[in-house]
Structure 1
Amino acid sequence: MTESEHGHVWGVCDEVQGLFREPRRAVYELFDWAADGTDVRGWVGCRVWLVPEDRTLDPWLLEDAESLGRQGRSGALVLTGLDDYMGPPEGYRRPVRLHDGYRWLGSCREFARVLLDEQPAPSLVLRGLAPSDRLRRALATGTRRALDLDEAWLEIRDDHGAPLTDRLLRPKVRAWRPSSHGPALIDLELQDEVERPVPRYARPVWDRWLAGPPETAGAWTGLDTRQREAWLELVRERGCRLDRRSRPAGGVYELEGRHITDEPGLFLALGEAVNGPGGYFGGCVDALADCLRGGFGYTAPATLLWRNAATARDHLSHVLTANGTHYDLVALALEVLAEGRIRVVCE
């Protein structure tokens, strides 16, 4: 754990308790819900957009959305998810349509955001922590001001010590005690609402990456879209930390496309084609364009052999923008690759 402003190390620990927990989710009631086909139930999508039908306001994003079905006497559809508070205001009185980036889900007359009861800040326990001298002084002082560590980064490494990802904290020390992990170590309990806690569904993905990066390509192919998103997040955060030597121009990359059935699958396959198992080469079209400019193992020009390209075309040629406009993601990716001087041969 390091101080965010100057990078001073507060301490190094063996494990963190409380990092894996469900994020606080927003709850929406969608009144007079009319489904476009089958009513939505269970997990809905990584990104669900609420689009005002009159297009006078920007869409509202609800991430990792789940449907609880119709509830109450009104029969409103209830959705939960992580929102960014950007979009139609509370009590918006005009019809709204919903889509998940791939298809339209339905529409409602209006919606309401349900206010949940405030919950106490959870604890984050750094077990087996070797505290810095600065942290020892703060603990010895023991005042409220000394125990407020302001803002810090929790830097997470895999079992081999390689950087994997991080989380921003605003930690206040609740308690500390000698640790069973070894002499001179402590268990430090922090009052903190972790920015981006890791939800349960992503725990198997994290466990896999904490053991070290994959040694063979395609370790993500058996995952559902939700877990592929979690895998792609770790690939992106680890990939942006690596120092790579640019390979010579004229390289030939092979992309196996049998499992490109969703957007994260497209960028996971591209990353592994260019940079090997667990490799990163963009997590969206804009990031792909950035990677093509250099610094991510690629030197123009090159050739990409895209095998079984029909699978991606079947699943990603009619996706939706945030406001619901159809576009061809495969064609857009091919255009960006061509601009980056990668000649693509589809098979």
Structure 2
Amino acid sequence: MGTIDAGCVLTGDDEDEAWGHARRFSGLFTPLADGSRRVELAGCAPTGGLRAATGHIGGRRARAGNAHLVLLDAVGTPIGQYFVNDVTAEAVKPSIHGAHLVDLTVRLWCQDAYAGAAWPWHLRRTGQLDRPGLWHRLDRAGRHGWLSAALIHHGFRSVPDRPPDTVYRLDGRHITDVDGFHCALGEAVNGPGGYFGWNPDALEDCLLGHWGAQAPFALRWHAFAAARSHLVRLDDRSGRPPLEVIEEVFRDHRIDVIAC
């Protein structure tokens, strides 16, 4: 895909029908009371099924159907994708972004677009996700959103596994919950905003290879005692102390944890 002035591109469910692009979009990560999203596509050039739906706002044919919404960075490179359900045109008006463009409001559903993912996507799009630790200030919901964006973005990266027996440095100073552990681990293995699991099953999948690291390896865990004080509390997701689960997974895959 060449360089284009767009924030997202939409395609129909079968990925063969182009629905156009928009220069800016908002609302995807803000669920309404019923769980749906009202998304404004600013500077939009609708085509295909989306254009047809735009011509029938207020009627049954305003429903365009399911689609893929591809997020783009500032130069038009795809950085992530969401599957969105039941896209329905609700309002349209001329756009200030161009004579032949419109600002189109659609209602849709997207269960994977967590509210906390908006900020990390903004950082990626603007090239500001360039240093470690940006997730430190986030609350639990923000960290979960951070991890969801990291997982989706990983599919758009080409990151070969480092060889076995590599030593990774894990900064434990800001690990105050299990999501913080996964944020820190993803960063240790794959750099700022990196992903390396966000629950025990996902961590096991990553340890099988093709996610940036190849087991066995060593993890030099700095500020281990500080992190441990948080990870020994019972987790309401698993009913077990997160550290107990993490250490079990690491033992099974021959990960050597060096507490520092």
TM-score by length of 2: 0.82
Q: Which residue in 2 is equivalent to 1:338?
A: 251
How big is each residue's C-alpha offset from its partner over 1:24-46, in whole Å with a ceiling of 9 and x where there is no partner? 27xxxxxxxxxxxxxxxxxxxxx
> Would the aligned equivalents of 1:158 and 1:164 in 2 still touch at CA under 8 Å?
no
How big is each residue's C-alpha offset from its partner over 1:153-194, in whole Å with a ceiling of 9 and x where there is no partner? 222233343413425131122343432211322222324355
SS in 2 for 1:314: helix
Partners of 1:168 and 1:177 in 2: CA distance: 23
Match for 2:241: what amino acid?
D
Shift in Å, 1:247: 1.9
> Would the aligned equivalents of 2:120 and 2:146 in 1 still touch at CA under 8 Å?
yes
Unaligned runs of 5+ in 2: 1-9
Change over 3 Å in CA distance of 1:336–1:194 after alignment to 2: closer
Unaligned runs of 5+ in 1: 26-81, 83-120
Q: Which residue in 1 is equivalent to 2:21?
A: 12
Partners of 2:41 and 2:112 in 1: CA distance: 17
How big is each residue's C-alpha offset from its partner over 1:240-283, in whole Å with a ceiling of 9 and x where there is no partner? 43232122222111111111111111001111111111110000
Q: Which residue in 1 is equivalent to 2:218?
A: 303
SS in 2 for 1:313: helix
Match for 1:192: what amino acid?
L
Counting only pairs closer than 5 Å after superposition, residues 187-226 of structure 1 correspond to structure 2 as 187-193=103-109, 195=111, 199=115, 203-212=118-127, 214-226=129-141
Q: Which residue in 1 is equivalent to 2:242?
A: 329
1:181 counterpart = 2:97: yes
> CA RMSD for the aligned pairs?
2.9
Counting only pairs closer than 5 Å after superposition, residues 31-180 of structure 1 correspond to structure 2 as 123-132=38-47, 135-136=50-51, 144=59, 146-160=61-75, 161-180=77-96
Partners of 1:193 and 1:275 in 2: CA distance: 31
Match for 2:96: what amino acid?
S
Change over 3 Å in CA distance of 1:140–1:291 after alignment to 2: same
Question: Which of these residues, 16, 21, 28, is aligned with residue 30 of structure 2?
Answer: 21
Partners of 1:293 and 1:23 in 2: CA distance: 38
> Would the aligned equivalents of 2:215 and 2:253 in 1 still touch at CA under 8 Å?
yes
> Would the aligned equivalents of 2:53 and 2:89 in 1 still touch at CA under 8 Å?
no
TM-score by length of 1: 0.63
Give the count of matched residue pairs. Answer: 250
> Would the aligned equivalents of 1:205 and 1:227 in 2 still touch at CA under 8 Å?
no
Greater C-alpha radius of gyration? 1
Partners of 2:230 and 2:148 in 1: CA distance: 21
Partners of 1:159 and 1:258 in 2: CA distance: 33
Give me the identity figure in percent: 33
Match for 1:227: what amino acid?
G
